[in-house]
Structure 1
């Protein structure tokens, strides 16, 4: 795994509602070491209701990506979706919810990349961790987001599936999944620069 250099340090602060935090805390903290900043913030009991993602960009060599991630869920319109629907495709997965400030900021950039890479067969899938269907739909309408999202708040099944390999740990987190269904890259926190995700997607598309 290697971290992609960035021109500046960004610290994404995400307001996680108390209900969502209680439901997902175990997953967010799984795999964290005792000095992990995310774990430390949660354990501190400061009451800030924030988990910070520092914008770290990690890439995973093909030989170290492990097994394909298998997941299933339900889209906001009630349509079932699973990892089988994306077999052989590069998939960009973004974990988000409407009350998350950096999610609102990065949504238009994600949509631009979806419009750029969709014609090349790249799929985008949002994973909404907290909202109802109506709240998620309102957010997508306001931000012009046209790719689908799974509503994951009741089951947490998609979050759990990815947490077994490359834990999201923060919201937003964006994953690039290769054509074999394995996580090729992770951006932990808000996009530090849309061009970085653009490059990660392009790299995954170029792989055989």
Structure 2
């Protein structure tokens, strides 16, 4: 059952057209990101800037198990140089958060995401960030400053993770957070900053599916 959905509209575009539009939008955003080196971004983050931020609309959706699409296949290299893919997460409920360091609500929600990760870690839940703009140095600075202990895939170079999730995370909806079920399917999505209580409910409900 859907808890709430605001400004959510079902797309009438064919999947191929949506993918093409998403590719073009992501390419534009990557071009903008490429205009700034890693160190200026790190300095902007440390100064609390909001370079390049565009808000999500704050909507969220919950998808009943019988209505979910195919599992999402994704992967990349983390800020620590480790390979991480959906295969490594198979069998676990996984929270995927799209973010970048100079995005103000990404900074604000970071402690709540870390708290949710700590609360559910013993339940076997995995957390993975997807950094859409930054290189490793900036992502590490963010993690150290915010106390984030779960990894983030660096997606700035090819946007492959963003494209994998394009049906659920529009290019303008950053931050966005998804809960994947144990099969790797999107169970729920928040397009915009998280409400901790809603995210925790999404995680708990998805975990409960495995015990039925």
TM-score by length of 1: 0.77
Q: How far did residue 54 of structure 1 move? A: 2.2
Distance of 1:135 and 1:145 partners within structure 2: 13
Maintained 8 Å contact 1:96/1:128: yes
Q: Find the counterpart in structure 2 of residue 204 from structure 1.
A: 206
- Find 2:98's aligned residue among 95, 108, 117: 95
Distance of 1:112 and 1:186 partners within structure 2: 18
In terms of fraction of residues, the more helix-rich structure is 2
Distance of 1:51 and 1:100 partners within structure 2: 8
Structure 2, unaligned runs of 5 or more: 7-25, 32-50
In terms of fraction of residues, the more strand-rich structure is 1
The runs of at least 4 consecutive aligned structure 1 residues that moved more than 6 Å come to none
Q: How far did residue 22 of structure 1 move? A: 1.6
The reply on whether 1:23 has 2:32 as its aligned counterpart is no
Q: How far did residue 168 of structure 1 move? A: 4.2
For these two proteins, the number of residue pairs brought into alignment is: 172
Q: Indicate how the Cα distance of structure 1 residues 97 and 21 shifts in structure 2: closer, same or farther if over 3 A, else same.
A: farther
Computed over aligned residues only, the root mean square deviation of the Cα atoms, in angstroms, reads 2.3
Structure 2 counterparts to residues 22-171 of structure 1, below 5 A: 22-23=28-29, 50-163=53-166, 165-169=167-171, 170-171=173-174
Maintained 8 Å contact 2:55/2:175: no
Maintained 8 Å contact 2:95/2:128: yes
Q: How far did residue 55 of structure 1 move? A: 1.4
Q: How far did residue 176 of structure 1 move? A: 0.3
Q: How far did residue 61 of structure 1 move? A: 1.2
Maintained 8 Å contact 2:97/2:175: yes
SS in 1 for 2:29: helix
Maintained 8 Å contact 1:69/1:83: yes
Maintained 8 Å contact 1:65/1:182: yes
Q: How far did residue 187 of structure 1 move? A: 0.3
Structure 1, unaligned runs of 5 or more: 7-19, 26-47
